[in-house]
Amino acid sequence: MGMLPGLIGFNLRCAHLALFQHFSATVGQEDITAPQFGTLLLIEANPGISQSAIAGALRFDRSTLVQIIDRLEGRDLVVRQVSPKDRRSHALRLTESGFALLEQLKELAISHEDDVAGALSTDERDQLIDLLKKLYSRG
């Protein structure tokens, strides 16, 4: 395998691929992608949040958020309301079905998480998250 197994990038790629596939097979049963799931969580935690704020938090372009919200709104999980404070921006909220689905998704996500972290102890899991945060929290 040459130098590949010693590179952070290669191992990150493999892990990301494996997790992504497992996510699709579990949480994805409900036809939700990881960016969509993250968006729903942010709206739940911050009712009335704007598209740009989500884009900033998830490190996406504004135009990418348009498409994510389009799909979620098309499925009646999210509504765009005109913000009373700034009429350029949209205040996003979960619908009833949005809340209901998100509850299911969170349960699926937890069992997905437990499943993929099955090979790790609790300490190792915390360590891993810590190291990953260090990796992307600067630069």
Q: 98 near 40, Cβ under 8 Å?
A: yes
The minimum distance between CB 24 and DNA, in angstroms, equals: 8
Restricting to residues 58-97, which ones interact with a second copy according to CB under 8 A?
Answer: 59
Partner touching 118 among DNA, a second copy, none, CB below 5 to 8 Å by kind: a second copy
Among 35, 9, 34, 36, residue whose Cα is nearest residue 23: 34
User: x/- contact string, 116-135, with DNA (CB under 7 A)?
Assistant: --------------------
Question: Smallest gap, in angstroms, from Cβ of residue 87 to a second copy?
Answer: 27
Q: How many helices (H) and strands (E) does the chain have?
A: 6, 2
DSSP character for 48? T
Judged by CB under 7 A, which stretch of 46-54, 95-103, 105-113, 119-127 contacts DNA? Answer: 46-54
Say if residues 72 and 39 touch (Cβ distance below 8 Å): yes
Site for a second copy in 24-43 (CB under 8 A): 34, 38, 41-42
Q: Please name which of 107, 119, 40 lies closest in space to residue 73, comparing C-alpha atoms.
A: 40
Residue written as token pair 């937890």: 110
By beta-carbon proximity to DNA, the closer residue of 34 and 125 is 34
Q: Which two tokens stand for residue 4?
A: 């590949």
> Contact residues for DNA (CB under 7 A)?
33-35, 50-53, 55, 59-67, 69-70, 80, 86-90
